[in-house]
């Protein structure tokens, strides 16, 4: 009888141990490797749609840095965003050391150590509604006058693909109203790897290759 009780206790402990191990593995994967998120809103139309489920690659930024064109999940620099643990999804446009120029509806880049401004070819991911219609804050203003952003070290400049309907680096403000257009690398939690759901729209996301040679 005692052997039978010992067997049941051992079985219960074995099951509990396996559950703990599985939970630890899942937690580790979500913390350091990949994690699911649901898209809210239309700021990334048509690249990502409202209510789609995406999977982000966290490991990419443990072993490397964000690159231009990456679609990333991050905490916004606004105070309320950090307090609420809010996440946004946008596209990396400006890297540390870049100067980003918005002019006449287009985005230009003067990359680090370059004296040449190059128009960023965004036709691969901006739809007809947004291509040539990137404006200064507020995004819906249709103000084509020039605005420049010098991206500091370890900071990034991010824009949504739905340029007239995105709250992004053009619009981030402190409670005092002061502009805070850059996102710290530490607040970027991962690169969007693929769209998981709905299944009919499941596909991987790849960053575009830009030609900034100016030739």
* Residue 44, number of CB atoms within 10 A of its CB: 25
What string of H, E and C letters represents the secondary structure of the chain? CHHHHHHHHHHHHHHHHHHHHHHHHHHHHHHHCEEEEECCCCCCCCCCCCCCEEEEECCHHHHCCCCCCCEEEECCCCHHHHHHCCCEEEEEEECCCCEEEEECCEEEEECCCCCCCEECCCCCCCCCCCCCCCCCCCHHHCCCCCEEEECCCCEEEEECCCCCCCCCCCCCECCCCCECCCEEHHHEEEEEEEEEECHHHCEECCCCCCCCCCC
Active-site residue among 5, 35, 43, 58?
43
Contact between residue 76 and residue 88 where contact means Cβ atoms under 8 Å apart: yes
Active site residue 178: no
Active site residue 5: no
Active-site residue among 58, 90, 111, 166?
90
Active-site annotation, residues: 43, 90
């Amino acid at each position: 009888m005692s052997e039978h009780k010992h067997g049941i206790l051992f079985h219960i402990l074995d099951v509990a141990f396996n559950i703990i191990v599985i939970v630890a593995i899942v937690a580790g994967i979500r913390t350091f490797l990949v994690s699911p998120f649901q898209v809210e809103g239309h700021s990334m139309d048509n690249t990502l749609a409202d209510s789609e489920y995406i999977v982000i690659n966290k490991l990419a930024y443990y072993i490397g840095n964000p690159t231009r064109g990456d679609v990333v999940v991050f905490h916004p620099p606004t105070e309320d965003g950090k307090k609420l643990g809010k996440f946004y999804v946008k596209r990396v446009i400006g890297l540390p050391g870049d100067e980003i120029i918005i002019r006449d509806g287009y985005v230009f880049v003067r990359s680090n150590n370059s004296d040449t401004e190059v128009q960023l070819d965004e036709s691969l991911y901006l739809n007809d509604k947004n291509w040539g219609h990137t404006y200064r804050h507020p995004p819906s203003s249709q103000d084509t006058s020039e605005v420049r952003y010098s991206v500091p070290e370890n900071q990034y400049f991010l824009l949504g693909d739905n340029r007239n309907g995105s709250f992004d680096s053009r619009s981030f403000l402190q409670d005092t109203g002061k502009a805070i257009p850059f996102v710290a690398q530490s607040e970027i939690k991962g690169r969007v790897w693929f769209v998981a759901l709905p299944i009919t729209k499941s596909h991987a996301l790849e960053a575009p290759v830009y030609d900034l040679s100016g030739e």
